[in-house]
């Protein structure tokens, strides 16, 4: 609870929580706010925005409701971003914890694997993976996670190397605690806060990567996404720029909200360590 209070005290944290809370509510209540399939043809094509109360943001070339697409796209972006971030952090924590705690040849081998993944830009890795395996929501999540886990792994390893020599860890060894128990009960909880601060950046990057893949036609074809909506509008950008502008604004607001939350969380964690 103290962490939440410290987070709300920072302007960035309060603004980030406000934006993300609104997005989460939109994602949760998308079927209520916009019932039915957002990909269905709902009206006349290319209705301008703010001209028909039935379609406040207009329709696209096929007559699909733009507002419905943005509302349901919020769910897709948040689910993919959070799932990819959780997968990347889980992999990174396990690899970083094993490398830092075991040391020696295990550390060297795991860090070389991390180096190999970091050589390839995350987006190019995701692009190649989805192109080969095929486009679907689980594949996109896995592809994004494969490019995002090295940074949490390196950060976790650095934290573990610092923590494993502390007195309370030595005391746990002396009393005969199992190494795995020491790693997960004594070291991991103290190495976790910096990784959690990094997780918000991973979520933002995952949302942008998913949008870029969808823009290139490599997203889930059965789900409406902001990237696919932007791609749909680029062909008629001169005559109907709103088709790309509105989902672009939604994407920018989401990434800014995640960034502000990350900044606030970093400051809150620093204040918590200072209080301790």
What confidence tens digit (pLDDT) does each residue in 130-148 have?
989 888 888 999 999 998 9
Q: Has residue 80 got a pLDDT over 70?
A: yes
For the whole model, what pTM was predicted? 0.86
End-to-end Cα spacing for the chain: 14
pLDDT of 184 reads 83
Domain coordinates of the chain in residue numbers? 73-275
Tens-place pLDDT, residues 84-114: 989 999 999 999 999 998 888 999 999 999 9
How many Å apart are CA 155 and CA 71, to the nearest integer?
35
8 Å CB contact between 154 and 202: no
**Six-digit token string for 272:** 């918590």
Q: Has residue 276 got a pLDDT over 60?
A: no
Question: In which band, very low, low, confident or very high, does the pLDDT at 219 lie, cut at 50, 70 and 90?
Answer: confident
Question: In which band, very low, low, confident or very high, does the pLDDT at 274 lie, cut at 50, 70 and 90?
Answer: low
pLDDT of 3 reads 66
What whole-number percentage of the chain has pLDDT above 70?
Answer: 97
The mean of the pLDDT values for the chain is 88
Q: Has residue 75 got a pLDDT over 70?
A: yes
- What mean pLDDT do residues 169-196 have? 84
- What mean pLDDT do residues 31-59 have? 90
Interior angle at CA 262, CA 257 and CA 268, nearest 5: 125
Q: Has residue 226 got a pLDDT over 90?
A: yes
How many Å apart are CA 90 and CA 84, to the nearest integer?
10
**Six-digit token string for 67:** 């507002």
Q: Residue 118's closest CA among 156, 150, 154? A: 150
**What CATH code would you report for 73-275?**
1.10.3720.10
pLDDT of 273 reads 62
More confident residue, 48 or 178: 48
Interior angle at CA 89, CA 87 and CA 91, nearest 5: 70
- What mean pLDDT do residues 191-207 have? 85
Tens-place pLDDT, residues 145-162: 998 999 999 999 999 988
């Amino acid at each position: 609870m103290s962490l939440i209070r410290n987070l709300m005290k920072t302007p960035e944290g309060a603004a980030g929580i406000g934006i993300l809370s609104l997005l989460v509510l939109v994602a949760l209540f998308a079927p209520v706010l916009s019932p039915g399939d957002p990909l269905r043809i709902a009206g006349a094509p290319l209705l301008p925005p703010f001209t028909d109360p039935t379609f406040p943001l207009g329709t696209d070339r096929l007559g699909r409701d733009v507002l419905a697409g943005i509302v349901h796209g919020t769910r897709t972006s948040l689910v993919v971003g959070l799932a990819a971030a959780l997968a990347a952090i889980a992999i990174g924590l396990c690899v970083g914890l094993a490398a830092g705690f075991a040391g020696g040849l295990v550390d060297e081998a795991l860090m070389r694997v991390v180096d190999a993944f970091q050589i390839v830009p995350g987006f190019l890795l995701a692009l190649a993976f989805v192109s080969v395996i095929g486009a679907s929501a689980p594949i996109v999540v896995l592809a994004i996670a494969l490019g995002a886990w090295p940074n949490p792994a390196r950060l976790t390893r650095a934290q573990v190397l610092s923590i494993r020599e502390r007195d309370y860890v030595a005391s746990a060894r002396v009393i005969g605690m199992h190494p795995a128990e020491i790693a997960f009960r004594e070291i991991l909880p103290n190495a976790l806060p910096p990784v959690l601060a990094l997780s918000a950046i991973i979520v933002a990057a995952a949302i942008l990567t998913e949008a870029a893949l969808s823009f290139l036609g490599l997203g889930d074809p059965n789900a409406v996404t902001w990237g696919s909506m932007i791609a749909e509008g680029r062909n008629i950008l001169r005559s109907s720029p709103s088709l790309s502008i509105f989902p672009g604004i939604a994407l920018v607001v989401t990434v800014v909200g995640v960034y502000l939350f990350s900044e606030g969380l970093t400051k809150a964690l620093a204040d918590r360590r200072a209080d301790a």
